[in-house]
Structure 1
Amino acid sequence: MAMVTSNGTTLLKAVKPFKTGWKVEIKVLHSWTQHSSYGGVDTLEFILADVTGDKIHCTCKRIFTPRAKKHMLGGQWCFIENFGLTPATGKYRATSHKYKLSIIGSSLVTSSSLKIDGSFLSLTPYKSIINGSLDSNFLIDVIGQAIDIGDLQVVQFLGKERKKLELTLTDTNDHHIACCLWGRFAEQVLNAYHVGEDNTIVCLVTNAFEAFSVIINPTGSDVNEFLRQLPKNELALTTGNVESC
């Protein structure tokens, strides 16, 4: 695919920091407010994807948030023209893109009529998690069938009572990874397990720094393919239930 599309926008894989005059067409996958721990200014953060599924982390200072909030809505497509790019470094990086996009004073954000409903998941193979080959600086997304669901426990954490639930996620190749959910995520999964027709659930765990979410029995092409490959795919799917921090 060409790096410049038919509508004059550039794909995310091609943007570089030698100029600010790029124009991209993106979908907002996640958004959250990042609070400063040192008395600084809070920022609005986004995970964005283009039509190819490439993703980039976007940050917007409070002074520029009105222009971002108007068109950069979750699940919606928009155009961003004129923006800064800086190297993406450090831990807990939400995408593998080399750069982080910044909304600046000259940035122009407008709505797009593009309608692509995909969630652009980048699901991590269980084998990569188990063998330790992943770069620990990056957050990952996983999908799995929940098995070996334990009892809801109440434990002391940082001087407060917290609810937690331990379970196992399994993939289509019968690889297993241990999972521990806290708070409302724990309650949500346990409730779905008890009320389900066959006590079988699928969990999609997505991570975007402070925008962690657990989706129970999600929908979409990626999920349908996962279900098709399960040894036992007689799962009672309902409308996806989402909880986000």
Structure 2
Amino acid sequence: MAMITSDPTITLLNDVKPYKTSWKVEVKVLHSWTQHSSYSGGDSLQFILADKTGVKIHCTCKRVFFARVKKLQLGQWRFIENFSLTAAAGKYRPTSHKYKMSILSNSNVTNFTLKDEDNFLSLTSFTEIMNGSLDSNFLIDVIGQPIDIGDIQVVPVQGKETKKLEFTLTDTEDHQIACCLWGQFADHMLYAYKVAQVNKNFLCLLRFAKINVYKGQVQIINAFDSSTIEINPLGFDVQDYLQVYV
């Protein structure tokens, strides 16, 4: 039997199943981006949503239904009613939910007045990343102090010149892990580094990032636009990292 919230019409994300489409959920928009496509259906909108228990789900919306999701705004809570569910798969899964949500022609998004500033971080330890115990198909949240920041390089990727920036993240226990950011993420990191030239100590939070292995070395990369980067996020103190990296 599905577990429900205090409102009997609302179901928690853990309990939605593909056997029907008439579900109603209350969710917060953690991230959204446009996924470009040359196929006939065109671009699609992608969302990462969370309910009040912190369970997250990936939601996709085809171009033809864009009008249905105008109210799905970053950081806001919304009700979503009527949607389909299919098995989640692939090498870039932003959540561990077994299903992916799809917006339909009769999907309905309405306002919800809940005020909850929780961003539902699920931080992964450097030890877990390095010891190979994680399934690299699932994207992760990771935070650390960037060190050994290199210069931006421009390299060809699928016939297109693309920027990349390599550096190292260190945690509060002085574990270190290689990182490589691509495109606008490289620009963002380098800008943060230049701004911090007087005091070069800052923290970097990467959300929905990809564990990758390159030339035998484990590294963290951004998973195209499904990742996010935040410099000096609230709730974390760079001093905790400086105690071990001096």
**TM-score with structure 1 setting the length:** 0.83
Q: CA deviation at 1:41?
A: 3.3
1:96-125: CA deviations, max 9, x gaps? 001111111232210100111121112211
CA separation in 2, counterparts of 1:191 and 1:42? 29
The match for 2:243 among 215, 232, 241 is 232
> Could you say what secondary structure the match of 2:226 adopts?
coil
Q: 1:92–1:209: 8 Å Cα contact kept in structure 2?
A: no
Q: What does 1:156-171 align with in structure 2 at a 5 Å threshold?
A: 157=157, 161-171=161-171
Q: Which letter does structure 1 place at the counterpart of 2:23?
A: W
> Could you say what secondary structure the match of 2:128 adopts?
helix
> What is the RMSD of the two structures over their aligned residues, measured on CA atoms?
2.4
**TM-score with structure 2 setting the length:** 0.82
Q: CA deviation at 1:131?
A: 0.9
Identity fraction in percent: 62
Q: CA deviation at 1:5?
A: 1.0
Q: CA deviation at 1:188?
A: 3.0
Q: CA deviation at 1:23?
A: 1.0
- 1:160–1:84 distance in 2 versus 1, CA, 3 Å: closer
1:61-84: CA deviations, max 9, x gaps? 222211211x11111110011211
> Could you say what secondary structure the match of 1:210 adopts?
helix
CA separation in 2, counterparts of 1:65 and 1:195? 37
> Could you say what secondary structure the match of 1:105 adopts?
strand
Q: CA deviation at 1:230?
A: 3.2
CA separation in 2, counterparts of 1:190 and 1:124? 24
Q: What is the match of residue 213 of structure 1?
A: 228
Moved more, 124-133 or 38-47: 38-47
Moved more, 90-99 or 204-213: 204-213
- 1:4–1:31 distance in 2 versus 1, CA, 3 Å: same
Q: Which letter does structure 2 place at the counterpart of 1:26?
A: V
In the alignment, structure 1 residue 130 sits paired with structure 2 residue 141: no
Q: 1:139–1:209: 8 Å Cα contact kept in structure 2?
A: no
Number of residue equivalences: 228
